[in-house]
A and B are shown apart, each in its own frame.
Chain A
């Protein structure tokens, strides 16, 4: 009996040198069970992301080189770079690109600075801190569509904004017809966009502020550092990672400008507020040109990738 030439379980037999014999098969079964249940738990989310993020992304990439339409009896044909040629020859597209750049160049610094100021104002515990946090966050929970409609009303020639301007300047300032003037339409959209979204980035700044150790401030205070010096030498360096996160998210959101334009100006007056996504939706949805819209989306995505890569490079760890 003891002279069986081959061990039935070669691998556990080797391991018995350091482990008790019955443990080995049980652990192996446990390993297998962990793999199966682990993948079982991952797969619902993974399959949904595959179906509704990866596939449409690849599909969009492919459709950009075809003549696909949303509803069309014609078979889908490969047309090469035709859509892109048409796109780059379209002055409205260049105008949209310019508008979005203008929007981002103003919104990114102003909104992130305001959001940081708000976060600093409500970082410390004081009486009523929860009240202020709630009020500052209120515009964020209000839908952009509602916000746009509300400001559309306030921006009228005889609207609330002009009345407030007139009251506070004792009648000196006569407001513009904000959304109907090509010179003021984009600044008006910029103002409401900053108003609506600053609260969200305030929360991200707040997360960063709360990750800075209080001991650093105590040490700075012992050294007699002024509040400005505390900010300059403790807070600002401590927010390094938060900074790049806020910049990237604000920039990407700024490039995706759509809801406000769709509700308030439809890209007008004279294309002064049209954006890349607005053009994509207009051609893809209203004119049913899926392929042309996909080409615009692809250009937009490349732009987003480029900008996040550049920002990542600029805010990289230098040491």
Chain B
């Protein structure tokens, strides 16, 4: 009995390791190849060396990437766009969820239902009319002391940020989380003379850390990884985000070492960020009511 139990734990562990190997091998291959010259990448492919940083290792590919692509500019753009989207997204969506879950607002049920209904509209079906629509929106520009109004958001930073701030799924996550915080806290704060915004800022939000971590990651990932949208709405090189940089490698006689270096360069920041927050992220998404 005990022996068979030990065997089953050992075999479970073996299966776990097998799954981990399948999940990780392409990423390890990418990171390792980014350090090798092209000839060696192909030479190592038929052996375990494909996954090991052995042989002629250097960061030459990375240096070459910065020559071929304005990678620094793209990275700065992506960091800025993602950070602003995350911060504004956390604020706007949590504020909305706060009113919907903790205040007695007339008509809030209808509003919540309508917000949830937007979840079934896939972004891909919105993208094309959205391009047409943002091109009709006014654009305010402060030129010295005079405010200039022109038409069309195409080729700007805000077109990459503002449409993605409000998000029904984030509102839903915050709503579920706020429901689990006792309402007595609000009442106590109100008796002490606190206004609603003060309750939001000083009572509820400090307790909603796990929900905020989840919303932050779920907003950050699509912002950092966005490809289709900037491809359609951003033409100027100095406004483009990192994923578009990949287009610079779609040409004949591509150096795969450089491709792998660029791919690693835009993946590693996300992975590092994810590992730093992974405990709070996976635990919170697993407990914050993604339960259907």
Contacts and interface: CB of A to CB of B under 8 A. Distances in A.
Contacts of B263: 146, 149-150
Interface in B228-254: 228, 231-232, 243, 246, 249
A300 B127 CA distance: 13
B267 A244 contact: no
Interface string B133-166: 1010000000000000000000000000011111
Contacts of A56: 126, 129-130, 133
A203 to B, nearest CB: 5
B154 to A, nearest CB: 10
B99 interface: yes
B292 A38 contact: no
Contact of A53 (B47, B99, B118, B221): B118
A207 B285 contact: yes
Contacts of B164: 52
Contacts of B3: none
Interface residues of B, number: 87
Contacts of B131: 70, 284-285, 290
A42 interface: yes
B202 interface: no
Interface of B: 12, 15-16, 19-20, 22-24, 26-27, 29-30, 42, 45-47, 50, 92-93, 95-96, 98-100, 103-106, 108, 111, 115, 118, 120-122, 124-133, 135, 162-166, 168, 171, 195-197, 200, 221, 224-225, 227-228, 231-232, 243, 246, 249, 256, 259-260, 263, 266-267, 270-271, 274-275, 278-279, 282, 285-287, 289-292
Interface of A: 31, 33-35, 37-39, 41-42, 44-46, 48-49, 51-57, 59-60, 63, 68, 70, 117-118, 121-122, 130, 132-147, 149-151, 153-154, 158-160, 163, 166-167, 195, 199, 203-204, 206-208, 210-211, 241-242, 244-245, 252, 255-256, 258-259, 262-263, 277, 280-281, 284-285, 290, 293-294, 297-298, 300-301, 304-305, 308
Q: Which 5 A-B pairs have the closest CB atoms?
A: A38-B105, A245-B292, A48-B166, A60-B129, A45-B96
